[in-house]
A = this chain, B = another copy of it.
Amino acid sequence: MSTVSVIGRGITPFGRSDESIKSMVVKACREAIVQAGKPKIDAVFVGNFAAGPLASQEILGSIIANELGLGSIPAVKTEGACASGGIAFRQAYQLVKAGEYDTVLVAGVEKMTGLDTETVTQAINYAMDHESNEGASGLTFPGFFGVLAHRYMHEYGMEKKHLAMVALKNRQYAINNPIAQFKKETSLEEIMNAKPITDPLGLFDCSPISDGAAAVVIQRGDDGVQILSSGQASGTPLMQEVDQLLHISATNQAAKKAYEGAGLGPEDIDVVELHDCFSMTEMIAIEELGFFEKGKGWEALAQGLTQHGGKVPVNTSGGLLSKGHPIGATGIAQIVQIVDQLNGRACNQVEDARIGLAQNLGGTGAYSLVHIFSKKGV
């Protein structure tokens, strides 16, 4: 098995875009390829959730290969709800590590704005188990994480303001991220008093509808940020089947595999991008990734342990909450931020960051992926 590195990265502005899905993804890919020094690309993997219903466009793999003039190389789209990008990255990494390809372009993209709310909401709900009674009973993604938040508050004494502190932290990070969707100063009070979405989650506790694309080029060798390991796990897509409501077991399992693969533990991680589709999801994730004990995440957050100067800065890009959440792009955008951190070129740079981790969730815990990276030469 070989060493594999990220040798180039590209990303478009996240938010509402006038550009087409093809235009966005090609732009991100081009930036990544140029930064990588225009190597010969052997395959393309692209993560995308719902380009069919949202942009009337499938076959994105072939479209990217063709539009960039990459020749007759293999091209693959992967889907796993919001984890579509992370899944694409993992396939590419495993196949380069195995020697099947030398250099692979991995992209993620979603086009979500400019449609009526019903179309977008309907497409997002394709990420639930449609045959279960849960969807029919009106359970939605905000509803699921709202229930988790209530239960967590009940079990561990967290208050609504701690959720707001997650949103505030990520909002403040986003201000410095040129590609972020939300860059306006926001106060804790504003977040606390925002329009309720699903009690106790308000508008700022929920990630937005976004357009955007991100891409990386990975290559065998150590000439870049090194990919140390990949962990992926599945979990039930149904709330009624979850063993313990406050655990997202797929994240825990994926992290375990990734830590084992890298020979590292949570104590070794200097910077993290994790899947904060809701503020509550970040709270659960910092526990499942082993940074804090179950039920103690909110206290750690309140003590500033998940930001600069604390134990481990989380979502320095602004996260899904404030950078934005173009579904298929998210997993790759997280990796772009970790790569930037380990190259010393990130917005909200963490001083002396050597090891970084990216965690990407799909559904309410149907998929989770964890990738661990190290700075070049570490």
Contacts and interface: CB of A to CB of B under 8 A. Distances in A.
A18 to B, nearest CB: 14
A49 B123 CA distance: 15
Nearest to A233: B72
A126 B100 CA distance: 30
Interface string A94-138: 110111100000000000000000000011011111110000000
Interface stretch (A61-69, A285-293, A312-320, A336-344): A61-69
Contacts of A219: none
Interface residues of A, number: 63
Contacts of A20: 131
Contacts of A98: 94-95, 97-100
A300 interface: no
A72 B52 CA distance: 28
A74 interface: yes
Interface string A231-249: 0111111100100000001
Nearest to A84: B77
A75 interface: yes
A250 interface: yes
A53 B52 CA distance: 7
A367 B58 contact: no
A99 B122 CA distance: 39
A109 to B, nearest CB: 13
A40 B351 CA distance: 45
A94 B87 contact: no
A234 B87 contact: no
A186 interface: no
A179 interface: no
Interface of A: 20, 22, 48-53, 55-59, 61-63, 65-66, 70-81, 87, 90-91, 94-95, 97-100, 122-123, 125-131, 232-238, 241, 249-250, 253, 362-363, 366-367
